Structure 1
Amino acid sequence: MIASPRAFRLKPSPAFIFNGDPVSPEFEIINYARFRSSLVANARIEVLHTGMRWPEGPVYFADGDYLLWSDIPNDRIMRWVEGAPATVYRSPCSHANGNTRDRQGRLVTCESGGRRVTRTEPDGTITVLADRFEGKRLNSPNDIVVKSDDTIWFSDPDYGILSDYTGNKAKSEIGANNVYRLDPRNGEMSVATGAFVKPNGLAFSPDETILHIADSGISHDPSGPHHIVAYDVIDGHRLDNQRVFATISPGVADGFRVDTEGNIWTTAGNGVHCYAADGELLGKIHLPEVATNLTFGGPKRNRLFVTTASSLMAVYVGQCGAQRP
């Protein structure tokens, strides 16, 4: 089903007004002084497409001014262009999950069903970048980011092999839920960290000296983690100094991105939360559905595209995404 863009207006509350300055009621400001610059006057949340089953992995292509994202259970990658209905970009797609672009602008995808990481070449052919580690099949690659040195970092929890809903039910061959570093130039792959229950979204700071990784272990254990962890990146490839950056509530940090100021915009159970680089929660964008992932897009990279439980939504913000290209 295709929906025309429309605005969601949540019930106003005193939390949305600071110092007599009214703010659109979709936005909850925690730190007015620090979050105010991230807001756009009269910004509204638009629903660009709906009727999906757990969409994920939005990625923006500036050179074509379009967005791709995964509709995991429906086994398809969708495409959206301003002013036109969403269309199917690829189906089947091995239950694609997280997507990003490499430094050459090619689509790089985590395939939950295929249990692999692939790259879509300019002619449309698909290259398998990784499907095994030390001879054992990966679990179900989930989210992914490409560093400026062309290395690919991705999380590999077992979500896609727990059932047939977002992948294919199977036993883990590796027996661990790791985050990997892959060099596509020579195929070398190593475990960046294995210190997670269920590693999920990940993103580098603008200067790539810090890697943030989500642990969404609470999804299958009420006492499990629901936080974002930060690591120092040593010599460009090794992680050290693990610490909790932020605990997400409600829900989990399923996916997140960083703006040029170093703020982290992360999904949560009630929408999108924005954290400063020092870990302070600055504000929230309340959404009518659970947010699953997000990315910055638009000509100025100041439009936040958010996948939710069944929809693709968008809102303009006062910051620009740091990701490249």
Structure 2
Amino acid sequence: MILMTLNLKITFIPLVALLMSSAACQSQHSDIIAEGAELVLVADDYTFTEGPAVDAEGNVFFTDQPNNRILKWSPDEGVSVFMQPSGRANGLYFDHEGNLLACADEKFQLWRIDSDKNVTVLWEQFEGLDLNGPNDLWVDPNGGIYFTDPYYQRPYWERSESAMKKEQVYYISPDMGNIKVVIDDFARPNGIIGSADGKTLFVSDRGNNKTYSYEILEDGMLSEGTLFCELGSDGMTIDNQGNVYLTGDGVTVFDKNGKQIEHIPTGKKWTANVTFGGPNQDLLFITAMDSVFTLQMNVKGVRN
């Protein structure tokens, strides 16, 4: 795929202090970014940031997986440590009761963390075998959980190969009593997000550098996949116009028909994940390598 000309102008502070405060991000063609908005550096003292998830108040929780911790960003109070250790949490998402769900891949588990930081293991095996390592997840309107389970060898694992034959996408029923495979033909599933109405699921196959869309059926199963775009993604989010945000080389935005409409560079080697945060859900929150950024938007997230 030939990427569009960048619609975003980014101005750097001198190279020695790359993005130490902010980078000017001014859209030339797309109107999804607020006029004159700047990519603001929130913090840059991490090892690898991932998994941003927004709560009902607009606070964003994210992970620093190599340091085994979950952090919390508040618009008023900045960043603080929420939980450490954190089961080597990667992707995060809030359920409808306000519990934080975490892809805790230290022991190949999916966790539920309540407001008192009590942990419940929701799932850890499939057909008697350890999962590869839950990576990213999305909660549907009924409370069911879709999650991706790729295999990325971790330095803290004792195992050196997967017990599973495939890297798959799973669905856990709303009562947390049943799990089933919903995608089994990906090379390496990774980013996942659903539409606001709960009718469409977008899933990235990073192994083949493609993203697909699926109709969500009544029983939680999926229709046959349709190619959404010729680009894979690490983490993903969606806005109230139905635009889908993919990550990797910065943030690349596609409209609901799979046409690229924007590219947001971060100045980092890899951009891992993205969500909408803040009280109005109009701040794009971006995790990229050792840093986290925000960008004021004209569109909003659809989580709460």
TM-score for both structures, normalised by structure 1? 0.83
User: Which residue of structure 2 lines up, in the alignment, with residue 60 of structure 1?
Assistant: 54
Q: Aligned letter for 1:188?
A: N
Give the drift of 1:180: 0.3
Q: Deviation above 4 Å: which 4+ runs of structure 1?
A: none
3-state SS of 1:119 partner: strand
User: Which residue of structure 1 lines up, in the alignment, with residue 280 of structure 2?
Assistant: 300
User: Which residue of structure 2 lines up, in the alignment, with residue 311 of structure 1?
Assistant: 291
1:90 to 80, 83, 89: 83
Native 8 Å contact 1:179 1:194 kept in 2: yes
Superposition RMSD in Å: 2.0
Give the drift of 1:95: 0.9
Give the drift of 1:163: 3.1
Native 8 Å contact 1:27 1:283 kept in 2: no
In the alignment, does 2:204 pair up with 1:214? yes
3-state SS of 2:11 partner: coil
Native 8 Å contact 1:78 1:86 kept in 2: yes
User: Which residue of structure 2 lines up, in the alignment, with residue 5 of structure 1?
Assistant: none
User: Which residue of structure 1 lines up, in the alignment, with residue 137 of structure 2?
Assistant: 144
1:238 to 208, 221, 245: 221
3-state SS of 2:253 partner: strand
3-state SS of 1:26 partner: strand
Q: Aligned letter for 1:238?
A: M
Give the drift of 1:120: 0.7
User: Where do residues 113-192 of structure 1 align in structure 2 (5 Å cutoff)?
Assistant: 113-159=106-152, 162-164=153-155, 169-192=159-182
3-state SS of 1:73 partner: helix
User: Which residue of structure 2 lines up, in the alignment, with residue 247 of structure 1?
Assistant: 230
2:189 to 199, 204, 228: 199
- Give, in whole Å, the separation in 2 of the partners of 1:69 and 1:206: 22
3-state SS of 2:224 partner: strand
Q: How many residues align?
A: 286
1:107 to 86, 100, 109: 100
Percentage identity across aligned positions?
28
Native 8 Å contact 1:181 1:191 kept in 2: yes
3-state SS of 1:291 partner: coil
Q: Aligned letter for 1:277?
A: K
Native 8 Å contact 1:27 1:285 kept in 2: no
TM-score for both structures, normalised by structure 2? 0.88
3-state SS of 2:222 partner: strand
3-state SS of 1:322 partner: coil
Give the drift of 1:122: 2.9
In the alignment, does 2:211 pair up with 1:228? yes
After superposition, give the CA deviation of every residue in 1:147-170 in whole Å (9 maximum; x if it has no partner).
0101000000011xx1316x5543
Native 8 Å contact 1:268 1:291 kept in 2: yes
Give the drift of 1:86: 2.2
User: Which residue of structure 2 lines up, in the alignment, with residue 260 of structure 1?
Assistant: 240
Give the drift of 1:25: 5.9
Native 8 Å contact 2:26 2:35 kept in 1: no
**Runs of at least 5 residues in structure 2 that lack an aligned partner in the other structure:** 1-9, 14-22
- Give, in whole Å, the separation in 2 of the partners of 1:173 and 1:184: 26
- Give, in whole Å, the separation in 2 of the partners of 1:87 and 1:50: 13
Give the drift of 1:234: 2.1
Native 8 Å contact 1:178 1:193 kept in 2: yes
After superposition, give the CA deviation of every residue in 1:212-268 in whole Å (9 maximum; x if it has no partner).
001111xxxxxxx112111121225121121211122xxx41011111111101212
Give the drift of 1:206: 2.1
